[in-house]
Amino acid sequence: MSYIRTPEERFEGLLDYPFAPNYLDINFAGLLSLRMHYVDEGPKDGPVALMLHGEPTWSYLYRKMIPLFASRGFRVVVPDHVGFGRSDKPLEKTMYSFKAHIDALHHLVEELSLENITLICQDWGGPIGLGVLAREQERFSSVVAANTMLHTVEANLENRIEWSNHSVGESDVRISQGLLAWILYSQRAPDFEASPSVAGTTVREMSSEVLAAYDAPFPDERYKAGMRQFPALIPVTRGDEGALINQLTWAALADFRKPFLTLFSDSDPATKGWEELFKARVPGAAGQPHAQIERAGHFVQEDAGEELAIRILTWLGKA
């Protein structure tokens, strides 16, 4: 078998996650009929709120926000990237690529005929979701970037981001120790679990039930290829596939004049500085009520999900 499927009983009785599962068959890296999971709440004819998670989380991350958006008339679509949550999990790390993740999300957006989309993206949700936006801008009406990034390893990123990752001269790259340590840990750790990564990068206390929910999709090492591979896909050379894709995404964003809002946390060194790049480079970010979420770490949806939701809904005129 080239992929594995987390048993459904792993998702039974999870705290504050009552949402019915939905599945779409996709082609992922040549694997036919791979099953991709997504939450689909609220009226099907409403404006779309497309919420995208990153590493090492899944749609559970948005459980505090989904009901608030659905109650305001949004169709809330929250996929699990392939390899995460209830989605199927290819067994080989090399099957996961930057492009494959973008292709999978693009297929879901097309198959569900999503239009008038407000993209809400965090961590890897940014590069993947914005990668789809770069292909079909007309489907998107607005964007909220929260603790996300678009690495290109450009020389002009020097001194712009806290976790440095930029070229130096013709042949060298400067990478922060924090970023390099995270990439190496994901490949070398004998026990690579989701919950310590979430707990270690949030500010507010998390219950044991919540932590268990983040580990639920990964019963053992066989299920973790995608989780281990995401850090290795972070571009660290200018010729990296991800760097080239992100360059195209930046080029598309340079023409994006629809509303673009940044809501970053005050305690996330991994993405600090990227909000200023979005504000400087995306025309639609001009004049928007950008804000910083206080007492929140990398997983702002976990630390301050309700606040994040209300800020976005207020901005959209739906509070």
Residue positions annotated with a catalytic role: 123, 268, 298
Cα–Cα distance between 24 and 38 in angstroms, integer?
A: 8
> For 127-142, b where at least 16 C-beta lie within 10 A, e where not — what string?
bbbbbbbbeeeebbeb
Cα–Cα distance between 281 and 265 in angstroms, integer?
A: 20
C-alpha angle 33/140/110, rounded to 5°?
Answer: 20
Amino acid at 311: R
Three-class DSSP category at 290: coil
Cα–Cα distance between 259 and 247 in angstroms, integer?
A: 21
Specify which residues 148 forms β-bridges with.
123
Amino acid at 274: W
**How many Cβ atoms from other residues are within 10 Å of residue 269's Cβ?**
16
